[in-house]
Chain A
């Protein structure tokens, strides 16, 4: 979920390169609707978008699927923001601009059961 088509395009290309199927949402409500209809094993969430904040979406997703893994993808580079995301249950955080190789490595690690905090 990202309100920027540039970021969505970057992430889609990287994930499809890993052979993953990708669903896009441009805001938090759309992300929750799409996830409800078609749950995904992994969700990439922007934090600051119109409507619902990314951390709000992060809190709602496990109510629909407790096994979902979430990576926050944000331009906010503050350590305190990363701490907030981790405390809210995100399994990792990537800073924008998204580096495709880093995204692929994080997703691969996460889908095999790890997280990217350490």
Chain B
């Protein structure tokens, strides 16, 4: 399954706009400049995704996942390698303690960062596409890519054979923290997203 070039372009533009807001939010939280790479959009078979994530993030992934529902439903994820998650939690912790392990305070900080970034990103999509996106409580996990994707598949309302993976790499503090924002959608939601995207494009051209 592939996206047409035109739709991929339109989606990339929407994501470019949508990912600017979380970058601003993260910069405000940490006090550091955030650099964003060009977003990548592609369809993948679900079983291929764990290996791809492992290549990007290593064997253990720190993730914040947030299920969203509405006309378009899916799962939004903030993904960090283990060390990046520890550094990010340290940047935002009250005591500024050395990052050694994921205690409850570190987990809570990463969860809230994920909540803010994922809401900012999907909220822009909701506003631009004029659809209401409803969010579930964010959940933080520290596990292998394979276990993470299993959990994403289980949590999704739609059967996930393919997933649209929209991801962008961001860097905080010149690269001490590197992470990805990923949105996983099933095929029915992807169809609806494309239809909403067409409407958005038409409004832009009016």
**Which residue numbers of A lie inside 8 Å of B, CB to CB?**
3-7, 9, 48-50, 74-81, 96-97, 99
What bracket does the count of chain B residues touching chain A fall in?
Answer: 20 to 34
**Which residue numbers of B lie inside 8 Å of A, CB to CB?**
21, 25, 28-29, 92, 94, 105, 108-109, 111-112, 115-116, 118-120, 123-124, 126-127, 132-133, 135-137
**A76: B residues at CB distance < 8 A:** 119, 123, 135
Nearest Cβ on chain B to A4's Cβ, whole angstroms: 4
| B108 and A77 contact, CB distance less than 8 A | no
Say what secondary structure dominates the interface of chain B: helix
Q: How far is A78 from B92 in the complex, measured between Cα atoms in Å?
A: 25
Q: How far is A97 from B24 in the complex, measured between Cα atoms in Å?
A: 10
| B137 and A77 contact, CB distance less than 8 A | no
| A75 and B108 contact, CB distance less than 8 A | no
Inter-chain CB contacts under 8 Å: number: 57
| A77 and B111 contact, CB distance less than 8 A | no
| B126 and A78 contact, CB distance less than 8 A | yes
Q: How far is A79 from B21 in the complex, measured between Cα atoms in Å?
A: 15
| A78 and B111 contact, CB distance less than 8 A | no
**B136: A residues at CB distance < 8 A:** 48
Q: Which 7 A-B pairs have the closest CB atoms?
A: A77-B123, A75-B119, A4-B112, A78-B126, A75-B116, A97-B29, A78-B123
Q: How far is A6 from B137 in the complex, measured between Cα atoms in Å?
A: 16
| B28 and A48 contact, CB distance less than 8 A | no
26 contacts between A and B (CB under 8 A): A4-B109, A5-B105, A5-B108, A6-B108, A6-B109, A6-B112, A48-B115, A48-B135, A48-B136, A75-B115, A75-B116, A75-B119, A75-B120, A75-B123, A76-B135, A77-B119, A78-B132, A80-B126, A80-B132, A96-B115, A96-B116, A96-B119, A97-B25, A97-B28, A97-B29, A99-B28
**B108: A residues at CB distance < 8 A:** 4-6
| A78 and B127 contact, CB distance less than 8 A | yes
**A50: B residues at CB distance < 8 A:** 137
Write the chain B residue with the least CB distance to A75: B119
Write the chain B residue with the least CB distance to A26: B108
Nearest Cβ on chain A to B111's Cβ, whole angstroms: 7
Nearest Cβ on chain A to B117's Cβ, whole angstroms: 8
Q: How far is A70 from B195 in the complex, measured between Cα atoms in Å?
A: 38
Write the chain B residue with the least CB distance to A4: B112
**A3: B residues at CB distance < 8 A:** 137
Write the chain A residue with the least CB distance to B123: A77
Nearest Cβ on chain A to B72's Cβ, whole angstroms: 13
**A4: B residues at CB distance < 8 A:** 108-109, 111-112, 115
**A48: B residues at CB distance < 8 A:** 115, 135-137
**A75: B residues at CB distance < 8 A:** 115-116, 118-120, 123
**A9: B residues at CB distance < 8 A:** 94
